[in-house]
Amino acid sequence: MSFGYSVGDFIAALDLAVKLYSTFKNAPNEFAEISRELESFSVVLRSLKDQAGDPESVLNRNATAKRSELMALCDNLVATMQELQKLYRRYEKTDRSKAKWLRRIRLGMEDLNSLRSKLTIHMSAMSAFVASLNTATLARMEPMLEKIWRILDEQMKRGAVTAQTILSISTKSEAVEAAWAMLKMNLRTEGIPLEYIEQNTESIIEVAVAVTELNVTVDGSDGGTVHPDDSISQVGIVQTETQRRKNSGEPSAATGRRT
């Protein structure tokens, strides 16, 4: 019998990824470069943790039978991150005296490159798993929703619509009415009837967020920087609220200053 996921399944991996990201981003270049991979992992793991707590999520609906597979991927990731953590601690304790220091650094960099390659493999495997969930969802969609999926996916890839625009519609507040209006206009331009859009708003939002999970990046190219403590489904919400505060002159939620 297959059981669903729980939030605890991903907490250890997420906490370690965020901790290492925070440590490495201000470390020497060799480690700082790895912080970008850790940032990507953090976003994916945060999304999986959030989905694990929702019985109706794509993860719990489509992947309970694959729980052991995903947990193995997660365990492999944790093991590699723990190796990275040990290597960094050794680096911090390295005797800085001349030739001895240089020799240890050279050997340490060889280990670091090997671990970085492992991280890339784990990220590819995790991304493929998440993509398979969304592909399974697409296969069960009615034809019109499948068409909307493909429209939004194509528009995101060519930059006609951004992750921020799509994700911000899920807040369902007055601040995002413009984003929803833009999305409706895009769909109507592509031949989706207005009546269908208005009758299937919730389903369209779910499709839009799922599409974004496949396309969103973490380097700011979608309209803002994504941080490790942001789940994929929160990114647009945070950015929309930040922009609203900036436009209204309200204090920033993070700093208390006026923007």
- Is the per-residue pLDDT at 171 higher than 60? no
**Per-residue tokens: 191:** 């031949």
**74-88, 92-106, 128-142, 163-177, range with greatest mean pLDDT:** 74-88
Q: What is the pLDDT of residue 130?
A: 79
Please say whether the beta carbons of 125 and 201 come within 8 A.
Answer: no
Instruction: Tell me which of 163 and 52 has the higher pLDDT.
Output: 52
pLDDT higher than threshold 80 for residue 175: no
Q: What integer pLDDT is reported at residue 177 of this predicted model?
A: 73
Q: Look at residue 20 in the predicted model and tell me its pLDDT.
A: 93
Predicted pLDDT at 169: 63
Of 180 and 224, the structure prediction assigns the larger pLDDT to 180
Q: Locate tokens 């996921």: which residue?
A: 5
Token pair in block for residue 19: 């901790």
- Is a pLDDT exceeding 70 seen at residue 235? no
Partners of residue 251 on adjacent β-strands: 258
- Bigger pLDDT: 186 vs 215: 186
Looking at residue 80, its pLDDT comes to 93
Q: d(Cα 52, Cα 59) in Å, to the nearest integer?
A: 7
Per-residue model confidence (pLDDT) at position 227: 46
Provide the percentage of residues in the chain whose pLDDT is more than 70.
64
Confidence check: pLDDT of 257 > 50: no
Instruction: Please tell me whether residue 251 adopts helix, strand or coil conformation.
Output: strand
The confidence score (pLDDT) of residue 18 equals 92
Q: Mean pLDDT, the chain, as a whole number?
A: 72
The band of 112, judged by pLDDT with boundaries at 50, 70 and 90, is: confident
Q: Comparing C-alpha atoms, which of 16, 21, 15, 18 is closest to residue 34?
A: 21
Predicted confidence at residue 243, as pLDDT, reads 39
Q: Given this model, what pLDDT does residue 138 score?
A: 62
Q: Is the pLDDT of residue 92 over 90?
A: no
pLDDT at residue 166, rounded to an integer? 63
Q: Is residue 125 over pLDDT 90?
A: no
Q: 64-73 — which CB contacts under 8 Å span 24+ positions?
A: 64/2, 64/3, 64/4, 64/5, 65/2, 66/129, 67/2, 67/3, 67/4, 67/5, 69/129, 70/5, 70/129, 71/9, 73/122, 73/125, 73/126, 73/129
Task: Choose between 121 and 233: higher pLDDT.
Answer: 121
Residue 131, pLDDT above cutoff 90: no
* Cβ atoms of 149 and 138 closer than 8 Å: yes
pLDDT of residue 214: 67
Higher pLDDT, 135 or 51: 51
* Residue 258, helix vs strand vs coil: strand
